[in-house]
Structure 1
Amino acid sequence: MVDDNSHSPRFGYKSDRLKPLRAFCQVARLGSVSRAAEALYLSQPAITLQLQALERELGVRLFERTGRRLTPTREGDALYELARPLVEGIDALPAAFREQIRGLDAGELHVAAGSSTILYLLPKIVEAYRKAHPEVRLILHNVTGAGGLDQLRKDEVDLAVGSMLEVPGDIDYAPVYRFEPMLIAPPNHPLATKPDLKLEDLSPYGLILPPQRLTTYRLVDLVFQQNRVPYTVALEVGGWEVIKQYVAMGLGISIVTSICLTDADRTRLAARSLAKYFPSRSYGVVMRKGKYLSQQARDFVALIQPQILAPREYDETGHSGR
């Protein structure tokens, strides 16, 4: 190795820093100029010249010989720590670029939805979409109704799936599914089998409802107020799974949408239709008006069909018809 001062003439190799850095990293890794030359399909003199150019440029000795092996000096070790990730990153660039291009060709799909939609409505749709389009990167954004509209307006998502009671003028809403309002109670509750269930029958029992800011709470309050029926709220808690669990524990009764009732709930809950008093809830596709849907988004929308996940039907006594 050379130990020239900073006034040494410039080498042509300096114009391409990658070559001497790649040669340096291979020598540091393999401990030999000849083995580095074989790894890089270059001649030994070419490797030596590249190392000389690098030492001249940096003004330090990078290797010392230990027996038959070249060992990095202290400065060589420092340079290796800096250069190795750079060289490896550059060498991996073509493959990474091809992978990125494949990702661009496949595309991404951003879908906004609330927790209940993601949990109860979308699993089969997402499963079908992933099978049909495994190359597309699908991102589900868990949002509230207002948050989903905000993302739509900012074009942060391609579309949303959920329920809407009021549709703003800049939004298109295409309802696909309809789900009944249901009273849920423990199986041994007096309302579980009471004939000719009326809204007034709910008054003596505390309701477990979502937080007041959510649509479900406001809708329940509106219906009771319109019918001039008093009611009490025993507990406010977010998430239908939590509400169902608390109802099953006997902490109160609740009014939910049948979308959240699963086969597993049949043994722990009694469900009674309240369609006589509460409107059914629709779920469907929400888009910003004038929004161009990509092919990925159109393929996803095409899978949102009622036959994929139909509402569960209940008879008057609260038993599932399916």
Structure 2
Amino acid sequence: LEDYLGVRLFDREKNRLQPTREGLQLGPEIRAISDRLRALKTAAMELESGRSREIMLRLAFPSSLSSTRIPKLVKNFLAANGPMRVEVASGSYLAIERMVADGEADLGFARLPLMSPGLKQEKILSSRVICALHNDHPKAGSRQLSVGDLKGQDLIMLNRERPVRHELEALFYKSGIRQRPLLEAHSVASACALAAQGLGIALVGEIIAREYATLPLQFIPLEPELPVAYALISGEKFPIPKAASLFLQSISDWV
């Protein structure tokens, strides 16, 4: 510091240092700079570790999860990693893909196969289609329900924009069943809520439907099994932030 300033700050007497007049005069400013450097180093370490209030972790999940599972996951994540700013956005799977691809979200939850370019699969979640029906439904005691068992039943299905809807219709067609659903829903949450009112049998993905186990519903496997795959995705053009990596680690049990 003396070399940098061009001023002698201490008089040296054997192993002792005594501040000079210049050292005494500049001491408060030097200490203020030193304190700022320590604060800067702490901030840099927080940024490097992904545990900084200055960085926002941006998540995008469908509404069926953002109002059920995600608050619990975020709570556990913050408890394990310290206070951090988190933003949770909701939307359709296509909207979530676009948010992640455009860098508006660090992590998103989408159904496979992906429809948008520029995305990377971080974690894959395997699931299947199940039947959600009211506890008092005549079929509620079944161990499984075949496509044939659904013939003539009031069905609740996701809207036609969903790939799973087309897969279900192809399954019905292969079994010789021509049947339109009584009700169409735009989310698993809505489909389960309708089924919980005794309005029919909802055909939904199990991993999301299980979030609504507190409703008066029975969840029964569909036969033949119709797989459904989801993925936690990030953008190919944007390196995944450390906060997002920490979040992925913290939800490994759920995945």
The question of a shared fold, defined as TM-score above 0.5 by the shorter chain, is answered with: yes
Give the 4+ runs in structure 1 shifted more than 4 A.
101-105
Query: Structure 1 regions of 5+ residues with no counterpart?
Result: 1-97, 311-322
Distance 1:135 1:269 in 2: 37
Aligned-pair CA distance for 1:195? 6.6
Q: Which has the higher helix share?
A: 1
Residue number in structure 1 paired with 2:110: 162
Instruction: Work out whether 1:252 is the aligned partner of 2:200.
Output: yes
Q: Deviations over 1:256-313 (max 9, x none)?
A: 1222224423xx222210152311x2333201224211221111121231x2x37xxx
Residue number in structure 1 paired with 2:73: 125
CA 1:228/1:175 → structure 2, altered by over 3 Å: closer, same or farther?
farther
Please, which of 129, 137, 141 is the counterpart of residue 181 of structure 1? 129
CA 1:120/1:246 → structure 2, altered by over 3 Å: closer, same or farther?
same
Residue number in structure 2 paired with 1:114: 62
Residue number in structure 2 paired with 1:314: none
* Aligned AA (1:302): Q
Distance 1:207 1:284 in 2: 27
Residue number in structure 2 paired with 1:171: 119
CA 1:149/1:231 → structure 2, altered by over 3 Å: closer, same or farther?
same
> RCO greater where, 1 or 2, for CA within 8 Å and sep 6 or more?
2
Q: Deviations over 1:227-249 (max 9, x none)?
A: 43222211123333332232232
CA 1:244/1:171 → structure 2, altered by over 3 Å: closer, same or farther?
same
Instruction: Work out whether 1:294 is the aligned partner of 2:244.
Output: no
TM-score relative to the length of structure 1:
0.56
Please, which of 225, 230, 249 is the counterpart of residue 173 of structure 2? 225
Distance 1:284 1:304 in 2: 13
Aligned-pair CA distance for 1:134? 4.0
Contact between 1:211 and 1:238, CA under 8 Å: does it hold in 2?
yes
Residue number in structure 2 paired with 1:210: 158
CA 1:275/1:149 → structure 2, altered by over 3 Å: closer, same or farther?
same
Distance 1:297 1:220 in 2: 34
Q: Percent identity?
A: 18
Residue number in structure 2 paired with 1:79: none
Aligned-residue Cα RMSD (Å) equals: 2.8
Distance 2:240 2:126 in 1: 24
Please, which of 251, 264, 279 is the counterpart of residue 214 of structure 2? 264
Query: Structure 2 regions of 5+ residues with no counterpart?
Result: 1-39
CA 1:194/1:141 → structure 2, altered by over 3 Å: closer, same or farther?
closer
TM-score relative to the length of structure 2:
0.69
CA 1:292/1:298 → structure 2, altered by over 3 Å: closer, same or farther?
same
